[in-house]
Amino acid sequence: MNRAQRLAQDAAEAAEVRAYQTDPDVVALRIERVRRQVDWMCWSGIVLGLAFTMTNVQGFASAGTRPGSLPWLAAWVLDPTVSLVLLAILRAEQVTARYQVRTGVWVRRAKWFTLAATYVMNTWTSFAAGEAAAIVLHSVPPLVVFVAVEAITDLRDKLTDAVLVAAERRPVQQETGRRVLFADYLAIARESWTPDVEITPAWVRRATGCSRGLSPRLARALRSEVGNG
C-alpha cells in the first residue's frame, strides 16, 4: 500500500469517526452527561450553601431564648422551612427547563422571596452589630446560592438548545431524496396551520413529520410568526 492509499484509508476512517461523533444522538448523549455533571455540582453547592446558613438563621430566630428550650429548638425549623420551598421550586424547574417550558411569574417571585428571606435572616445580626467581616462572611453563601439558582435554569435551557441544534443538522430525507431543513419544516407547518389550531409540539410533529426533539423549536418559531399562544 503506497502513501496515497494509506492517506485515503485514513481519510475514510476519519470521515466515519466524524460521522458518528457529530450524529445528533451521540451529541445528545454527551450533552446529557454534561447536564448530569452540571446538575450534580450546582445542587451540591446550593445544598452546602443552604446548610451553612442554617446555624445563622437559627441564631437569629432563637435570640433571647434559653438554649435547649422549646422556642430554641423550634428555631431550627425556620431555615429548613424556607429552604425546602426553594428546593422544591428548583426541582420543578429542573424538569421544566429541560423541556423549555416557561413557568409563571409567581414561581420566580417565590424563588426570589425565599432567597431574600434567607439572606436577611442570615445577615441581620451582623448588620445590627456593624461587623463588616461578618456581613461579608454571611453574605457570600446566600448570594452564591442566589446566582446559582438563576444560572442553573439558564444553563439547562441552553443545554436543551444544544440538543435541538444538533437535531436540526440531522440529514433527514423525504421521498424525493432532498434533505429537509428547519426552514422546510417551518414552511410545511405554516401551510398546515389554521387559526383554530393550537400550535403545540405534538401538532407540529403530526403536521410535518419532524422529530420529537425538533418539534418544540418549530412550535415556538411558528407561534412567534402567527402570534398564537
End-to-end Cα distance, the chain: 63
Q: How many CA atoms lie within 13 A of 163 on its CB side?
A: 24
Q: Which three cell numbers stand for residue 155?
A: 444553563
Same domain, 136 and 203: no
Same domain, 190 and 126: no
Q: Helices 24-61 & 105-129, crossing angle to 10 degrees?
A: 40
**Count of domains forming the chain:** 2
Same domain, 47 and 96: yes
C-alpha distance from residue 8 to each of 3, 15, 19 (Å): 9, 10, 16
Residues 225 and 214: their CA atoms lie apart, in Å, by: 17
Read off the pLDDT of residues 143-194 as tens digits, 9 standing for 90 and up. 998 888 888 888 888 888 777 777 665 554 444 455 567 788 888 999 999 8
Same domain, 112 and 194: no
Residues 195 and 21: their CA atoms lie apart, in Å, by: 41
- Domain containing 149 equals 3-168
Please check whether residue 103 lies inside any domain of the structure. Answer: yes
Read off the pLDDT of residues 54-110 as tens digits, 9 standing for 90 and up. 888 998 889 889 988 998 999 999 989 999 998 999 888 888 877 777 888 999 899
**pTM given for the model:** 0.59
Query: What single-letter amino acid sits at 128?
Result: A
